[in-house]
């Protein structure tokens, strides 16, 4: 008996043929899709990315901000957790570090004795006079009176809306500058005037929050994290606070 040959199954279409037919083949039609698994903002024009990230930041309940800000020729190192009704964290300027705590309208500043001695510029290390006063203030929370010039200056570091509004700004013509990674987070970068007006990395994962900002004119670099993550705020106990008794230093 003559054997009846089996019919051969049709050959699978080649990747090239699928590409020609407009079918996406990740490995054979130009590599992986850079927007796969992202929030999709990487496909948008730069102006829309900027708008989306500002909207996300404005809607967030809280954020952590860290990095350097240059203002009036002075560099401030910030590490602040911020939300609508207050903030806590540290500020370093010209080698001096102090803690800031704001709960509602109440603003507190905490620093070591050297900070208060240097602020008056009168300490002589003898432990008397200004040095003694500095020792009393050191490592205590000093409540900043709202009428004191320092209140406006220091409270600016604790106001989430003011900080974000002033920082999340790119100058000049906005354009995209490719996909990047910041602290393990995939981002799309937008620039102002090819970078001279600042650069901003926007998260491609989840909500399109700002991730990293390089300010125009070398005015500092900041990173943003813990978006929407609440944190506790409470005024310090009475035994942790002390009255400065005069106008606070503004330097």
| DSSP character string of 144-162 | PPTTSHHHHHHHTTT-HHH
- State whether the Cα torsion 33-223-107-153 is positive or negative: negative
* Pairwise CA distance, residues 81 & 111, whole Å: 18
**In this predicted structure, what is the pLDDT of residue 72?**
83
Reading the block at residue 92, the tokens are 């370093």
Cβ neighbours of residue 53 under 8 Å, at least 6 residues apart? 41, 168, 200, 202, 208, 209, 210
- So what's the pLDDT on residue 206? 97
Res 246: pLDDT:
61
Q: For position 30, what pLDDT does the model report?
A: 56
Task: Specify the pLDDT at position 95.
Answer: 86
pLDDT at residue 133, as a whole number: 66
Model confidence, pTM: 0.80
Q: pLDDT below 70 — which residues of the chain?
A: 1-31, 118-133, 244-251
Find the angle CA(21)-CA(39)-CA(82) to the nearest 5 degrees: 170
Please give the structure tokens belonging to residue 12.
């699978």
pLDDT at site 171:
94
- Run of H or E residues at 70: strand 62-71
The predicted structure's pLDDT at residue 138: 83
């Amino acid at each position: 008996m003559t054997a009846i040959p089996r019919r051969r199954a049709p050959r699978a279409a080649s990747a090239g043929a699928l590409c020609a037919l407009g079918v996406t083949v990740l490995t054979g039609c130009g590599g992986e899709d850079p927007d796969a698994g992202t929030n999709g903002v990487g496909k948008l024009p730069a102006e829309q990315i900027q708008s989306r990230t500002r909207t996300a930041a404005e809607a967030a309940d809280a954020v952590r901000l860290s990095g350097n800000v240059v203002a009036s020729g002075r560099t401030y190192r910030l590490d602040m957790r911020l939300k609508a009704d207050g903030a806590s964290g540290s500020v370093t300027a010209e080698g001096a570090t102090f803690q800031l705590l704001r709960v509602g309208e109440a603003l507190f500043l905490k620093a070591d004795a050297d900070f208060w001695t240097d602020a008056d510029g009168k300490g002589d290390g003898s432990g008397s006079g200004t040095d003694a006063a500095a020792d009393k203030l050191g490592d205590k929370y000093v409540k900043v009176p709202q009428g004191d010039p320092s209140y406006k200056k220091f409270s600016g570091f604790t106001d989430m809306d003011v900080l974000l509004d002033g920082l999340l700004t790119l100058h000049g013509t906005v354009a995209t500058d490719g996909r990047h990674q910041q602290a393990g987070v995939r981002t799309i970068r937008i620039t102002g005037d090819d970078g001279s007006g600042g650069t901003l990395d926007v998260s491609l994962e989840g909500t399109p929050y700002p991730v990293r900002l390089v300010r125009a004119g070398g005015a500092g670099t900041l990173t943003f994290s813990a978006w929407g993550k609440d944190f506790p705020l409470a005024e310090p106990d009475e035994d942790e606070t002390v009255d400065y008794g005069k106008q606070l230093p503004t330097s």
